[in-house]
Amino acid sequence: MTVSLAALADVARSEASLRAFLHGLPGVDKVGAEQRAAALGTRSIKTSAKAWAIDLSIRMVDLTTLEGADTPGKVRNLCQKALNPGHGAPRVAAICVYPSMVATAHEALRGSGVHLASVATAFPSGQAPLSVRLDDTRAAVAAGADEIDMVINRGAFLSGRYTEVFEEIVAVKEACGDAHLKVILETGELATYDNVRRASWLAMLAGGDFIKTSTGKVPVAATPPVTMIMLEAVRDFLAQTGRKVGVKPAGGIRTTKDAVKYLVLVNETAGEGWLDPDWFRFGASTLLNDLLMQRSKLATGHYAGPDYVTLD
Amino acid sequence: MAAFEYAPAPESRSVVEIKPSYGLFIDGDFTSPRDGGVIKTVNPATEEILSEVAEAGEADVDRAVAAARAAFANVWGPMPGAERAKYLFRIARLIQERARELAVLETLDNGKPIKESRDVDVPLVAAHFFYYAGWADKLGHAGFGPAPRALGVAAQVIPWNFPLLMLAWKIAPALAAGNTVVLKPAETTPLTALLFAEICRQAELPAGVVNIVTGAGATGRYLVSHPDVNKVAFTGSTGVGREIARAVAGTSKKLTLELGGKAANIVFDDAPISQAVEGIVNGIFFNQGHVCCAGSRLLVQEPIADELIDALKRRMSQLRVGDPLDKNTDVGAINSAAQLARITELSAAGAEEGAERWEPDCELPSQGYWFRPTLFTGVSQSHRIAQEEIFGPVLSVLTFRTPAEAIEKANNTPYGLSAGIWTEKGSRILAVADKLRAGVVWANTFNKFDPTSPFGGYKESGYGREGGRHGLEAYLDV
């Protein structure tokens, strides 16, 4: 059943209708969801399939540095890594930095085709006045970011003020202009899978181009079951509205084995339409080097070790 | 071609050595049959002949029962429970140690995916032996009086769908309670029982405590009607179960039967849909639907019927049907040509009687016995596919309007083995479960087994319970 996006967005006309819609979504059985995600984690991906998955994973990486200690020098190094991962590996999807580092990254990446993402909206807590969060967004876009990773207002979400969350996302989307908007749900703070499903739909209804699991700044980041539920949401949203939304798990994905498990989840949940850097990303900092090491091991038969990949 | 093509990931079959022929395991040794011929056992995925096993005749069954009787009288019966437990724990550990070997052999002989034999069958087999080992010296605390006694010699006949698991369900409680056994595996899947016999030798289980006689229907008939048997336990079809009940009637033999089923999997409109879809798929396509408690009738509440069926079709399109030894295979081979013919016949009847047939567009191997996962919509209670046990990967979808109608339809069958309920509403789970006439009722899950949980049926699904404390009762003089 396809309904127009406008008709569906109309559910946000009042707090009551938005709540009724979100609470009318089918529930998630925790035990069953975790079993399904774990079962998909046992797929055996070898040889040619593994090589394909590693290269695709590299192309899906949002190479990230989000530290108080970030400097222009650090960011320039990371951009060089994005452009030249080494050993003939493909380039990553994007660099992800704080707004203050966007100008530096923009300079380094100019014309390369590697996207430039910036977290904004008082990342990671989002606990700043809306006007400040919108200014944060506009500044990042003005400095050259073509993707914005915003955080939702978890306080408002958890206390059931869904329209407030919705309207804030709409406002940030507007402040983004042409930049793509990734909406960080911070699923570790939403705590239940029912909330993850509701927040996913809320973010998609409000115009998010991507839904992203986590900031990486709270103890529980991306997990396979959470990502699976978000992948179900984008699949169902496309079927209902005709609009396709991407998914980005972030935080805690460090190994090639993990990345391949996520690709299996994508393949068998949302489908192969999402096996593309335009529709699925990994938010990660250390994952890239493990992918590069496993890539060369698969090609040469030898495991060279961490001294043979660059630390940037 | 799919974008993400999983490369073949076959489990190596070199871990298991299959002999060209096997004798009967009687009194602690493999012996040649005195009478009777041989049966060839094939790999249903390729039709390759794996081995030849003996077909035990009457004289062989006599020998096996006599060996079991002697072991009961002289060794196993008098042995303290704590000593019996040591042997059972040892067997359980050996099963774990040789898990890969057992899993590969089970998959070769039965056709089930390695992922299931490795992750479900063999771990449950070990768990059953561990569990009942714990009871062996605590029988006085099982609720059957202060010192319940063993029955004597148990004759056990098991089916081909879970060859090793059914063996464990039969042998573990029997031995824990102090009985000795003569077990006949199914004629199409004898090999893991024979490997189990080797494990009994490795565990230095006293001779005659476990005897394995291979053969077909005639061997089973001799065994269950043998006059020196005290207990008969059977898992299999309702037809054969009736025959056994007749053969045992009027004797002092104690009988338990675990027979067919036509379980209803009931999905209410407030169900967790994604997990319900997984549960439905697991309920009917697990082990190619060769499961007596399979959720072969899907009862779905009308408001969500279309949405659920669409989701189910999408999910079924992802099932990977093929080489059972490949670690990524979800659905393996049908166990035998005879079973394939039965599934084919019943499915054809479904289409003829007016139900709408749908199957995913997956390729099947050219050799072996294969059947695509199949969905019938528009099924009504009067259709054969809603009444008869198909024992294959075929799901019949019926709809209902109210909880009362769901209960009525679920119970409207001669069987009563299992049922499933899917709803987010806890009170409804309890209310509906209370009214379902089925031995096992799963809520928001399906096909979950545990050695601590009793399993068994109502009505034509049989009587007696296996598993848990209840499972001891069948092997004790109470």
Spatial distance between the Cα atoms of B111 and B113, rounded to a whole number of angstroms: 7
The per-residue pLDDT of chain A, averaged, comes to 95
8 Å CB contact between B451 and B270: no
Spatial distance between the Cα atoms of B375 and B43, rounded to a whole number of angstroms: 26
Radius of gyration of chain B (CA): 22
| Residues of B with Cβ-Cβ distance to A264 under 8 angstroms | 4
A149 in active site: yes
Q: Please indicate if any CB of chain A lies within 8 Å of the CB of B272.
A: yes
In a 13 Å sphere around the CA of B364, the CA atoms on its Cβ side amount to 17
Tens of pLDDT, residues A243-267: 999 999 999 999 999 999 999 999 9
Contact B327 A263 (CB under 8 A): no
pLDDT of residue A86: 83
Name the helix (H) or strand (E) containing B126.
helix B122-135
Q: Where are any strands of DSSP class E within B247-386?
A: 254-258, 264-267, 297-301, 356-358, 374-377
pLDDT of residue A1: 45
In chain A, the domains with their CATH numbers are 5-300 (3.20.20.70)
Tens of pLDDT, residues A116-151: 999 999 999 999 999 999 999 999 999 999 999 999
**Mean of the pLDDT values across residues B326-334?**
98
Picking from A5-19, B152-166, B293-307, which range would have the lowest pLDDT averaged per residue?
A: A5-19
Angle B161-B166-B170 (CA atoms, 0-180°, nearest 5)?
A: 155
Contact B274 A263 (CB under 8 A): no
8 Å CB contact between B463 and B456: yes
Interface test with B, best of A30, A34, A44 (most B CBs within 10 A): A44
8 Å CB contact between A279 and A243: no
Tens of pLDDT, residues A259-302: 999 999 999 999 999 999 999 999 999 999 999 999 999 999 99
Interface test with B, best of A23, A25, A29 (most B CBs within 10 A): A29
Tens of pLDDT, residues B211-242: 999 999 999 999 999 999 999 999 999 999 99
Share of chain A above pLDDT 70, in %: 98
Q: What's at A67, amino acid-wise?
A: E
Q: Please indicate if any CB of chain A lies within 8 Å of the CB of B317.
A: no
| Cβ-nearest to A32 among B9, B115, B272 | B272
B57, pLDDT greater than 60:
yes
Question: Which has the closest alpha carbon to A87: A40, A54, A124, A121?
Answer: A54
| Residues of A with Cβ-Cβ distance to B279 under 8 angstroms | 32
What's A306's DSSP letter?
G
Helix (H, G, I), strand (E, B) or coil at B250: coil
Which token pair is B19? 């002999």
Tens of pLDDT, residues B257-305: 999 999 999 999 999 999 999 999 999 999 999 999 999 999 999 999 9
Question: Which has the closest alpha carbon to A270: B270, B114, B4, B288?
Answer: B4
The per-residue pLDDT of chain B, averaged, comes to 97
8 Å CB contact between A274 and B4: no
DSSP string of A182-239, one letter each residue: EEE--HHHH-SHHHHHHHHHHHHHTT-SEEE---S-SS----HHHHHHHHHHHHHHHH
Spatial distance between the Cα atoms of B144 and B148, rounded to a whole number of angstroms: 6
Where residue A312 falls among pLDDT bands split at 50, 70, 90? confident
Where residue B1 falls among pLDDT bands split at 50, 70, 90? low
A4, pLDDT greater than 50:
yes
**Mean of the pLDDT values across residues B437-454?**
97
Q: What's at B257, amino acid-wise?
A: L
Mode of pairing for the β-strands spanning A147-151 and A180-184? parallel
Contact B278 A43 (CB under 8 A): no
Angle B362-B365-B366 (CA atoms, 0-180°, nearest 5)?
A: 125
Tens of pLDDT, residues B335-379: 999 999 999 999 999 999 999 999 999 999 999 999 999 999 999
A39, pLDDT greater than 70:
yes
Spatial distance between the Cα atoms of B243 and B253, rounded to a whole number of angstroms: 15
Torsion of CA B149, B155, B160, B166, to 10 degrees: 10
Query: What residues form DSSP beta bridges with B104?
Result: none
Task: Put residue B47 in one of left, alpha, beta given phi > 0 → left and psi -120 to 50 → alpha.
Answer: left
Q: What's at A79, amino acid-wise?
A: C
Contact B279 A32 (CB under 8 A): yes
pLDDT of residue A10: 84
Q: Which phi and psi angles does B146 have, rounded to 5°? A: -70, -30
Spatial distance between the Cα atoms of B357 and A206, rounded to a whole number of angstroms: 40
Contact B278 A272 (CB under 8 A): no
Query: What residues form DSSP beta bridges with B297?
Result: B264, B396
Query: What residues form DSSP beta bridges with B254?
Result: B231
Residue identified by tokens 């036509």 is: B262
